[in-house]
Structure 1
Amino acid sequence: MNFSFRHLFIYLTFALSIFKSNAHELASPSGQLKLYFSLNEQGTPVYSLDYKGKPVIKPSKLGLELTENVHALHSLYDKFRIIDGNQNTFEETWQPIWGETKDIQNKYNELAVTLEQEGSERKLIIRFRLFDDGLGFRYEFPQQKKLVYFTIKEERTQFAMTGDHIAHWIPGDYDTQEYNYTTSKLSEIRGLMGKSYEEGNVSQTSFSPTGVQTSLMLKSNDGIYINLHEAACINYSTMHLNLDDKNFIFESWLTPDSHGDKGKMQAPCTSPWRTIIVSDDARDILASNMTYNLNEPNKIEDVSWIKPTKYIGVWWEMISGKSSWAYTEEYPSVQLGITDFNKAKPNKSHGANNTNVKRHIDFAAKHGFDAVLVEGWNIGWEDWFGNDKDYVFDFVTPYPDFDLKGLNEYAQSKGVKLMMHHETSASIRNYERHIDTAYRLMKQYGYDAVKSGYVGKILPLGEHHYSQWTNNHYQFAVEKAADYQIMVNAHEAVRPTGIARTWPNLIGNESARGTEYHAFGGIHPNHVTILPFTRLIGGPMDYTPGIFQMDLTNGAHVNSTLANQLALYVTMYSPLQMAADFPENYERFLDAFQFIKDVALDWDESKYLEAEPGQFLTIVRKAKGKNDWFLGSVCGENGHTANIDFGFLDAGKTYEATIYADAPEAHYLTNPQAYVIKKIKVTNKSKLTQRAAPGGGFAISIIPIQK
C-alpha cells in the first residue's frame, strides 16, 4: 500500500465511522444554535438544543406508538439503528402574497437521519432544520414494504425544559382555543388548571390537568425566550403538550378521532414540523418567519384576486345583544324546504335586514372600506344552536328581508363588496355537501371572501375540532375556495400553522379568544400582549378590533381603552381587519376613527421596537409600496411608558406624526374613552416618550411631509 492510498483508506474509514456514528451535531447558520442527536441504549432517538453555549432543550426522546394492527412491534420508539445521516444547507428569499414584510429570508442547515428498526426493518427519517431563530423537525415515513398503512396511537415527542420556566398558557382542549391566557411557572400549571379552564364555551374537551396548547410561550430564569409550536399541520391531528411537572418535560399529545386514534397514515407521508423558536430577545420571537418557512411555497398560480381587506359588518350588534341572527321567534323548530318563512311573523331584532345592511354599505362607501360582512342572512338560525342538527343551513337561501341580488348590486354601485358568512354549525358533512353550490352562488353575486364558522360540537358526534379528520376538512374548504378564487376567514377552526404561505387565500382565522369575548365572558387586559407571541406565530388573526363603546347593551364591559383598540390594528397583524363597532359609535369619535381609516393592511417592513409577553409590545410597520409608517403600542393592566426612537425613518426626511394616545386620566375600567390626539414633526433623529394607561396603548401614523 503506497502512502497516498493508505491516507485515502484512513480518510474513507473515518468518513464511514462518522456516517454510521450514533451521534450527530448540527449548527445554525450563525452558529448560535446547536442541535445534538443520538440514540440511547434502548435505540430511542434523542435530541437536545443549545443556544449560545447553554442548553435550552435537555436530552429529549423522539418516536411514536402505533396501534396493534401494524406489526408485532407496536412502537416506532426504540430498537433503532442509524443507517444514514445527511447534512445540507439551504438559502432563499421569497415574497409573500401579503405579510408583515415584503421579503422573507429562508436560510437553514439541515440534518436528515435515517433509522432502521431492529426486528422489523421499518425505516423512519427524522429531519431537522436549524435556523438562526430556532429548530424545526418532523418524522418522515418513506415508501417501504414493512410500513404502509398504519395508525398512530400517540406521538411521543418530548421537549425537556431546563427549569421551572414562566409560561403563558391556555388549557389543552380538543375543541376550543378561546381561553384567557394564564401566566405562571410550569410547576403551578396543575394547581391553576381548574381556574383557567373556564366553563361556558360552546364546545370544550379537556384531557389532562397539565395539558396545554401550542403555540406555547416560555421564559427561563436566565432570560431565554422559548416558543413551542408546530408548522404545516397537513393530514395530521393537532398537537397539544402534556407536562410532566416533576421533571418539566413536555410530551406531544395528539387530538384523537372519534375512535380514540391519533392518526390514520399511509406511507410515504410526514408529520407536521415540531418547532422551537429561541432567543434572548422577545422581539426576535415576534420577528420569526420560521413557521412560514417550514411550509411549502404558494400553490396558487394566479393570486391577483387575493387582496388585503378592511371591512365593517352586521355582527357586533348580535354579539353585544342589540340584534339577533334569527328572523322569527314564531316557530319552535324550523326545517329547510319545509318551513315557510314567507308566512312567518318577523321579529323586530333581525340584524340582516335590507335597511340595516344598506346603512352599513353607505357607511363603508363613505369612509373607504372594502367590504361589509353580514351574518344571519340565511334561513336556519332559529333553533340549531345546541341541538346537534346535521342539516341546518344550505348557504344559499336568504331570509325574506334580505334581498341577496339587490343588496349586492347596491353594494357594487357604491364600490363596496359584501362578505359572505357561512356558519356550518360544525356539521362537516353538511357543509361539504353544499360547498360547491355555496361558492358558485358567491361567484354569481360578486362575493370574493367568506367568513366560515364552526360553532358547537363537530358532527358527526365524537369527532373533535382539531382531529386529523376535521383538520382535513378545513384544508379541503380552503383548497376548494381557491378553485373559485375565494378568500377564507375561518372561525372556530384549527389554529394556523403557517399554511397560508402555501394557500394565501387563507387570509385570516379566529382560532383564539377574540374581541367577541368582551361581550361574552371577558378578556383580560394583558391578552393582547400575549397573542402576538402565541396565536399569531402561525398566521394572522381576525381579532375584530375597533370597539369604541366599552359599556355594551348586554351589560358587559370591554377591558380596553379606545387608544388600545386603535393600536391593535398594528400589533395584531392581519391582512384582514375589521372595524367591529357600530357605525354610530365611530361617528361619535370621527377624529379617532381616522386612524382606522388610514392604517395600512399590507407591509414592506415591520420593526419590533420593544416587547415583553404579558406586559407590553410596540411595533411599527411601513405600508406596502409607500413611505407611510404606522406604530402601535399596547400594554396590560399595569400600564407602560414607551421610549420610541424614530431611527427607522429615512434620513433627511421630515414626517408628520399623528399620535392617538390615552389621556392622563384614562383607565380601561373607569375611563376607557379618554384619549388625546396631537401632531408633531419627526425625523429619524427624533425620540418620544409616551405613556399608556392600564389596559391602554397608543397609535401613531407617520406620514412624510411633501416639500
Structure 2
Amino acid sequence: MKKYMLTLCICFLVWNNTNAQQLKSPNGLLTMDFSLKNDGTPTYNLKYKGRDVIKTSTLGLELKADKKSLLNDFTIQDTKSSTFDETWKPVWGEVKSIRNHYNELAVTLNQNETNRQIIIRFRLFDEGLGFRYEFPSQKNLTYFVIKEERSQFAMAGDHTAFWIPGDYDTQEYDYTESKLSEIRGLSEKAYTENVSQKSFSPTGVQTSLMMKSADGLYINLHEAALINYSCMHLNLDDKNMIFESWLTPDAKGDKGYMQAPSQSPWRTIMVSDDARTILASKMTLNLNEPCKIDDTSWIKPVKYIGVWWEMITGKSSWAYTDEFPSVQLGVTDYSKAKPNGKHGANNAHVKEYIDFAAANGFDAVLVEGWNEGWEDWFGHSKDYVFDFVTPYPDFDVKGLHEYAKSKGIKIIMHHETSGSVRNYERHIDKAYQFMKDNGYDAVKSGYVGDILPRGENHYNQWIVNHYQYAIEKAADYKIMVNAHEAIRPTGICRTYPNLIGNEAARGTEYQAFGGSKPNHVTVLPFTRLIGGPMDYTPGIFEMDLTKLNPDNHSHVNSTLANQLALYLTMYSPLQMAADIIEHYKKFPDAFQFIKDVAVDWDESNYLEAEPGKYITVARKAKGSNNWFIGNVNGETPRTSNIAFDFLEKGKKYTATIYADGKDAHYKTNPQAYTIRKITVTNKSKLSQFSAPGGGYAISIIAN
C-alpha cells in the first residue's frame, strides 16, 4: 500500500512569520523549528515531548575558491509541505514489511548577492529527523567544490556518548563510553591496535554516534543515502557542546566535487526515551531510494562457514609458499615453488569444509587465500597485487565448484584489493565473469591498507563512488557483495539489496588480535548497525587461541552462550559460523543452535535494551511460526526478565534455552553453559541469568 498527498499547512506546519516554520512528526511528539537569522543564516532546532534534543543550530556549506559560500545572506523564496505514508517489502530483513511515514518541509532559499538557490529538505518521522541539501539546476551554481559542510548539531547537555575517534580510513575501534566533555582527554587512549588508525581532531568522532542524556533521552546522529559525496564525521566544540559536520577530504584536501543538480546525503537525528525504539527504527532505510534491481530472486540470505578463522588466528596461512621475497603476477612461477605446508585454501581442506557445510545444513563456504599474490600483498604500496582469477597450484577452481555443486553448496569468492581500487576496477568485469563461469554467486571484498591512488582516503568522495560502482557492477552480474574495510553503511542496501553485508567496524577478527571489550556487542547495534547489517562473523567456541596457535595469546572476550546470541542481536542476512570444524564437533549440542537459527525474518521484537549494557531481541523466522531469542550482556552480571507475549495465543511451543552456566565468565570460564527445554505459551515469563560478557539464546519451536 502506498499513499502520498499534499496537505494544508495547518495540518502539521505552523507558520510563525516569513522566516520561521514549524514541522511536527506524524505522532506529534517531535517538533522541528526552522528559521533564518538576521544575516540570513539557516537554523533549525529539534524537540522531543517538549524537551530540547538539538538546540538552535546553523546549516550551510563553505565553498572553495568562491567569492561567497552557501552559509548566509539567504531569504526564503518558497516552502512546500507534504506528508508521505507507504508500506514496502524488503528483499530480506528484520521484518517482512516496513512503514515509511513522515511529514516533510522543503525550504527553497535564495542567496541575495549571488542569486543562487538551494533547497533544505526536512523529513520528520516518529523516531527522528532527516535533512539534506539540494542544489537545483541553475546558471549561477553549476560546478562547485565543497571546502567543508557546516551542519551543526547543538547538544542540550553533556551527554554520555559511545564513540570512536574520527578517522578517514577505519571504524575498527573498540567503543569508548564517556561524557562529551571527556572526549578530548580520552582521545589518545581510545586508539586500539590497527595500522590505519589516525584521528583528524582530538574531539572528532565518527557516526553513527549514540548518546544518552541525563534525563533519559537516547539520541543517535548518523547519515543516510551516502551517494557521490564524502563520508561525514563530527567534530565537537566541547566548550559549547556543539557538533559540526566534518567531511573526509581527498588527496588534495578537497571535500566534495559537485555539479548541479545534485544533493547531499541525509543527516539523521534519532531520538526516543526508549532505547528499543532506536534499535527497531527503519528511518535510515526509509531515507534511501526504493530497490533499483528489477529481478531480486537471486538475492538470498546465506548461512556459511569458511577457511578464514584459522588464518586470522595464525594456525594457517593465506600464502602458498614462503620462498618468494616478492611476487610479480605473470612473472613469478608458482609451479616450481615449495608449498609452506600451512596454506589453508588447498583442495583437500576445502572439501572438508564443503562436506561439513552439506552435512549441517549450511548454504556456502568462504575460501580466502585461493589466488596468487598473498606472499607480499600488504604494506608495499603496490598497485598490481591480485588479478582475481589466477588460483594457486593446490586450488582447483573447476573441480571444487563441481564438488560443491554435487553437495548442494556454493563457494563464496574472496577479492582482497589491498586498497588498490584502480587495479580492482581494471579487473572487475573479468573477475565477476570468472565468478559466474565457476558458480560463485557472492563475493567478500576487502580494502586492507592505504588506498591507491596514493593519498586518497577510504571514506572520501572518490572512494565512496568506487564502493558504489562495485555494488552496481555486481548487480549487473547477479552477484551479492559483502564488503570489508569499505565505507560504513547508510541504508543503501534498500536500493541495492545485493549489498548483503558489510564489515566497517571492529568485528570478531579482533578477538584474535588482542581481544575486544566484552560489552562491544552491546554497543554495535546502536551504532554500526543503524546503517545496515554487519558481517560480524560470530560462533567462536574456543576462546583460548593458544590452542589454535601457541604464539597467539589473545582471548575471545565472550562466553559461548554469548556467541550463540549474536546470531540474533547482530542482525545480518549473511551469518557465518566462524570457528573451525573441530571446535563445533567438540560441542555438538551447542552447535545445534547455529544449525537451527534462521537468517531471514518476518518479525522482530526488541524486548529490552540499554547501550553498553544489554540487548535482548526476539525474531520470527521467515515463513514459519518458529521464534528465536538472543540476549547479549556487558561486563556486569544480571538477570534478564522477559515475557513471551509475542507468541501466538492458544499455541504451545518447545523452548530450548542455551544459557551461561552459574559460574560462567567471559575471561575465566567462557565455555560453561547449560541447555534445557521448557514448554512456553504467550502467557509465559522467563528470568534468566547472564554472566559477564555472556548471554543466552533460545529456539522456540511451535508444537
Spell out, residue by residue over 1:108-137, the C-alpha distance to the aligned partner (whole angstroms, 9 max, x if none).
Answer: 000000001111001010000000010000
Equivalent of 1:590 in 588, 591, 599: 588
Spell out, residue by residue over 1:313-357, the C-alpha distance to the aligned partner (whole angstroms, 9 max, x if none).
Answer: 000000011000000110101100000000111101000001110
Q: Which residue is 1:163 aligned to?
A: 157
Structure 2 gaps of 5+ residues are 1-7
Spell out, residue by residue over 1:36-84, the C-alpha distance to the aligned partner (whole angstroms, 9 max, x if none).
Answer: 000012211000001001111000000000001xx421x1001111111
1:95-494 correspondence to structure 2 within 5 Å:
95-198=89-192, 200-494=193-487
Q: Which residue is 2:4 aligned to?
A: none
SS, match of residue 429 in structure 2: helix
Pair 1:78-2:85 in alignment? no
Equivalent-residue separation in structure 2 for 1:19 and 1:46 (angstroms): 15
Q: Which residue is 2:603 aligned to?
A: 605
SS, match of residue 160 in structure 1: strand
- Give yes or no for contact 1:19–1:84 (8 Å, CA) kept in 2: no
The structural deviation recorded for 1:146 is: 0.4
Equivalent-residue separation in structure 2 for 1:82 and 1:212 (angstroms): 33
Give the aligned residue type for 1:138: R
Q: Which residue is 2:31 aligned to?
A: 34
Equivalent-residue separation in structure 2 for 1:109 and 1:439 (angstroms): 42
- Give yes or no for contact 1:48–1:59 (8 Å, CA) kept in 2: yes
Equivalent-residue separation in structure 2 for 1:157 and 1:561 (angstroms): 42
Structure 1 gaps of 5+ residues are 1-10
Pair 1:562-2:560 in alignment? yes
Equivalent-residue separation in structure 2 for 1:18 and 1:110 (angstroms): 14
- Give yes or no for contact 2:471–2:498 (8 Å, CA) kept in 1: yes
Give the aligned residue type for 2:42: P
Q: Which residue is 1:690 aligned to?
A: 688
Equivalent-residue separation in structure 2 for 1:204 and 1:197 (angstroms): 7
Q: Which residue is 1:536 aligned to?
A: 529
Q: Which residue is 1:90 aligned to?
A: 84
Give the aligned residue type for 1:502: T
Q: Which residue is 1:8 aligned to?
A: none
Equivalent-residue separation in structure 1 for 2:28 and 2:388 (angstroms): 54
Equivalent-residue separation in structure 1 for 2:109 and 2:490 (angstroms): 27
Equivalent-residue separation in structure 2 for 1:130 and 1:45 (angstroms): 18
Moved more, 473-482 or 203-212: 203-212
- Give yes or no for contact 1:599–1:630 (8 Å, CA) kept in 2: yes
Give the aligned residue type for 1:35: M
Spell out, residue by residue over 1:540-565, the C-alpha distance to the aligned partner (whole angstroms, 9 max, x if none).
Answer: 00000000000112121000000000
- Give yes or no for contact 2:538–2:567 (8 Å, CA) kept in 1: yes
The structural deviation recorded for 1:621 is: 0.2
Equivalent-residue separation in structure 1 for 2:298 and 2:96 (angstroms): 18
- Give yes or no for contact 1:486–1:505 (8 Å, CA) kept in 2: yes
Equivalent-residue separation in structure 2 for 1:445 and 1:627 (angstroms): 37
Give the aligned residue type for 1:687: K
Q: Which residue is 1:673 aligned to?
A: 671
The structural deviation recorded for 1:640 is: 2.1
- Give yes or no for contact 1:20–1:84 (8 Å, CA) kept in 2: no
Q: Which residue is 2:3 aligned to?
A: none
Alignment identity in percent?
A: 74
SS, match of residue 673 in structure 1: coil
- Give yes or no for contact 2:191–2:197 (8 Å, CA) kept in 1: no
Give the aligned residue type for 1:152: I
- Give yes or no for contact 2:15–2:22 (8 Å, CA) kept in 1: no
Give the aligned residue type for 1:76: L
SS, match of residue 582 in structure 2: helix
Pair 1:24-2:53 in alignment? no
- Give yes or no for contact 1:202–1:455 (8 Å, CA) kept in 2: no
- Give yes or no for contact 1:312–1:369 (8 Å, CA) kept in 2: yes
Equivalent of 2:43 in 46, 64, 69: 46
Give the aligned residue type for 2:40: G
The structural deviation recorded for 1:197 is: 1.9
Spell out, residue by residue over 1:519-573, the C-alpha distance to the aligned partner (whole angstroms, 9 max, x if none).
Answer: 0131000100000000000000000000000011212100000000000000000
Equivalent-residue separation in structure 2 for 1:113 and 1:466 (angstroms): 29
Moved over 2 A (4+): 17-20
- Give yes or no for contact 2:658–2:697 (8 Å, CA) kept in 1: yes
Give the aligned residue type for 1:126: I
SS, match of residue 318 in structure 2: coil
Aligned residues: 687
Q: Which residue is 1:5 aligned to?
A: none
Give the aligned residue type for 1:314: V
The structural deviation recorded for 1:577 is: 0.1
Equivalent-residue separation in structure 1 for 2:64 and 2:52 (angstroms): 34
Equivalent-residue separation in structure 2 for 1:616 and 1:454 (angstroms): 32
Spell out, residue by residue over 1:412-465, the C-alpha distance to the aligned partner (whole angstroms, 9 max, x if none).
Answer: 000001000000010000000000000000000110000000000000111000
The structural deviation recorded for 1:639 is: 2.0
Q: CA RMSD in A?
A: 1.1
Q: Which residue is 2:5 aligned to?
A: none
SS, match of residue 508 in structure 2: coil
- Give yes or no for contact 1:19–1:85 (8 Å, CA) kept in 2: no
Q: Which residue is 1:500 aligned to?
A: 493
Q: Which residue is 2:575 aligned to?
A: 577
Equivalent-residue separation in structure 1 for 2:294 and 2:56 (angstroms): 43
